[in-house]
Amino acid sequence: MTDRPVAGNQPAISEVDPESLTAWLAARGEPAYRAAQVLAGAHRPTATSLDDLTDLPRPLRGAVADAFRFSSIVGSHALVADGGLTAKAVHELADGQRIESVLMRYPARGKGIGRTTICISSQAGCAVGCPFCATGQAGFGRQLTAGEIVDQVLHWHRDPWLALGADWRPGGVRSHYNIVFMGMGEPLNNVDRVFHAVRLLNDPARLGIGARHITVSTSGVVPGIDRMIDELPQVNLAISLHAASDELRDELVPINRKWPIAEVVAAGQRFAARTRRRVSLEYVLIDGMNDAPAQAAGLAALASGWLCHVNLIPLNPTPGSRWSGTDAVGVRRFAATIEQAGVPVTVRDTRGREIEAACGQLHAQLAGRPIGTAVPMVPA
């Protein structure tokens, strides 16, 4: 039993800014250097609660644990796939909203080091409403706070499972995260909090993840892309194109009615020209929908002559969907057309199919079922 407030309105430690932390400490007669100790302790991968901040004197530790939350995530349900290389979690937030994150491990080859990509959500639900996306079908819940965004990364950072595996030096892998905003939500419809979260992730006093290891994926919010150019030019940009004609894109990515293809591609070109960073054009391949030769030629034309590459993703069908993914032969044929136009093209591996890893799917499966408190995950 504890007499502490449970999941109240205390700010999560992941989003407390150093100035207010220092002020809070000063009000207790504590020196400013304690702020760095609190942040370092809370971001240590082995921390399991704010009571673990053993650098602090015991009374102060208790006061910190009363004033702040260890995480804004109150419970998680995790599933492992791909022989332990992929894991997905549904997280429950203090008000009962649920979001998803996915972790993908890429083992080291030769003398290289393994990579770990963490896919995070920016909103509970999404208002864009793409018909092939489970999140889009479920509608919009609410914006996530910067702390709720960062806490998804911290969830995996604190998971002992991350330290396991022959290819991973214990602890070492943690400095090599790639973060992708490809979970639930449209990040550039929550732009201030997403940018704040990126800065928190960058902060060397916290996780210290370099901006070049972070990717924002957008359905095409043009003003948000322009803000990325000005405010976060080192963060990678992915644009979910999914169609080469406005008629089809109006249906597949309804935000196209506001910012049609020409405007989105022009924004991508501005980003590439100003930042000298290659933009990724995402294209979900849906059988009989957007995978005909004419659409491949249209995409090749849109992608030619500027610093971008095309990433093809066979659709991961959502339950009850009338659509299916393009087969392997169709994907190869489509990719060849893009390649022949001199545009770099990759095919995204479909990690985690058996755990409903596509955006919003596990969330839909667990709807209405209880989620336990956070359990560290260790593969079977």
Chain residues binding ligand SAH by CB under 6 A are 126, 132-133, 181-182, 186, 217-219, 240, 282, 284, 313, 315-316, 318, 358-359
Q: Interface with ligand SF4 includes 136 (CB under 6 A)?
A: yes
Q: Which is nearer to ligand SAH, 147 or 185 (CB)?
A: 185
Parallel/antiparallel/unpaired status of strands 236-240 and 214-218: parallel
Contacts of 164 (CB under 8 A, 6+ apart): 378, 379
With CB cut-offs between 5 and 8 Å by kind, which of ligand SF4, ligand SAH, none does residue 313 bind? ligand SAH
3-state secondary structure of 299: helix
Residue span 84-123 as binding mask against ligand SF4, x where in contact by CB under 6 A, dash where not: ----------------------------------------
344, amino acid identity: P
User: DSSP character for 69?
Assistant: B
Q: Are 103 and 116 in contact, with CB atoms under 8 Å apart?
A: yes
Segment contacting ligand SF4 (CB under 6 A): 65-73, 184-192, 230-238, 319-327?
A: 184-192
Query: In the chain, what is the greatest distance between 2 CA atoms, to the nearest angstrom?
Result: 70
Task: Establish whether 130 is a catalytic residue.
Answer: no
Residue written as tokens 């136009």? 341
Residue 317 as a binder of ligand SF4 (CB under 6 A): the answer is no
State which amino acid sits at residue 53.
L
Does 100 qualify as catalytic in the annotation? yes
Check binding of 359 to ligand SF4 (CB under 6 A).
yes
Cβ closest to ligand SF4, residue 136 vs residue 317: 136
Task: Give CA–CA dist 14/21, Å, rounded.
Answer: 11
**Site for ligand SF4 contains 219 (CB under 6 A):** yes
Asked if 200 touches ligand SF4 (CB under 6 A), the answer is no
The catalytically annotated residue of 92, 100, 148, 186 is 100
224 binds ligand SF4 (CB under 6 A): no
**Tokens (6 digits) for 52:** 């673990």
Smaller CB separation from ligand SF4, 72 or 316: 316
Three-state secondary-structure class, residue 125: strand
Structure tokens at 277: 């960073």
- What span, in angstroms and rounded, lies between the C-alpha atoms of 130 and 58? 51
- Considering only residues 230 through 249, tell me which ones interact with ligand SF4, judged by CB under 6 A: 240
Q: How far is the CB of 359 from ligand SAH (least distance, A)?
A: 4
- Neighbour tally for 367: CB within 10 Å: 10
Residues near ligand SF4, by CB under 6 A: 126, 128-130, 133, 135-136, 184-186, 219, 240, 359
